Structure 1
Amino acid sequence: MKPRDLPKHLPDTALAAHAREPEDLLSPLLQGPAASLFGSPVEPVQGPVHGVIVGTLLALADNGQTALVSFAGQPGHEALRARSVVDLHGPHMGQGVVLMFEQGDVHKPIVMGVLRGQAAWPLAEQPATVDVDADGQRMVVSAKEQLVLRCGQASITLTRAGKVLIEGAHVLSRASGVNRVKGGSVQLN
């Protein structure tokens, strides 16, 4: 629902509060003619689409499960919801994507892949990312400033400064071998 769809008798404060809903934050990216995204007016795609079309990944919805895409000649003026055969993440937003269409239907795009070598993110800062390196034997998760593992009231926090913070309602340290506590100084209670 957009502010223009609200009843006219609502006070301006209701319209202003509604305008700040999360789906409206993406409105500038998700609406507007395809020409504004691709530079020049393009005729709408007619009939079934066979082959691929290169589009743009505008956003990820439904907790990253649904891609919102746009392409030259798309029907309508809003982003299309698309399924994907590849994992899409925040850094992919703004990049070109290869699209195919279920049974040639231009309203049912499927993201087949992300084009490499593009730095098309439209904002000054890209979304935050965490690097994961896994080879089946070892997994390394890296973050620039802080990494937090959290479950309910328990958490383990690793900071860039080298601090390891373990918090929980109950903390148990158990070892079948030697359990060492070593540091520049050790404080108990």
Structure 2
Amino acid sequence: MTKLLTSNEKTSNKLSLLDEIIERAKPQPLSGEPSMLYSIQLAKIISNNNEGVFIRFNDNEPPILALSLAPITESDIGKICAVQFINGNQNNPLIMGLIYSNNYLYMLSKQTINDVNISCTEQGQLHIQASDSITLQCGESSLTMTADGFIQIRALYIDNYALATNRIKGGSVQIN
């Protein structure tokens, strides 16, 4: 017969994740500051590594470890998140979600990643600029553009359709 364990009985010396969160979340008064914070605060995601997600409320404070309700990825670093505090304890932040706004989308409309400039316009245009080459690949198909003006299209099959005139121009054109 299976025995139901009561909350006073421990099955092992190891703490479960929930036990760790509850232990960490005990309210502790902070010197000179109110100990209970129930309002939502905004913070910036600073890093996400093996230790966990670190956030910062302002640039003058060191980053602090936070729990999150949703997965946080490397692409979320630098984004603003909504934070509440477990049991109102400022030392135990809980990320409720990421802030989404049109201003944030405007900030994303121009990005530089590893010397590659990516920009989006309101007219639905995407501009990608790289110093050496750009390759778009899907399965066996690829399109590569290089800085010296070379464009290479590789695929198993290439279909070329035009509703109007289909022109092929070049210094010399070789077919087959």
The TM-score, its normalising length taken from structure 2, stands at 0.48
Higher strand residue share: 2
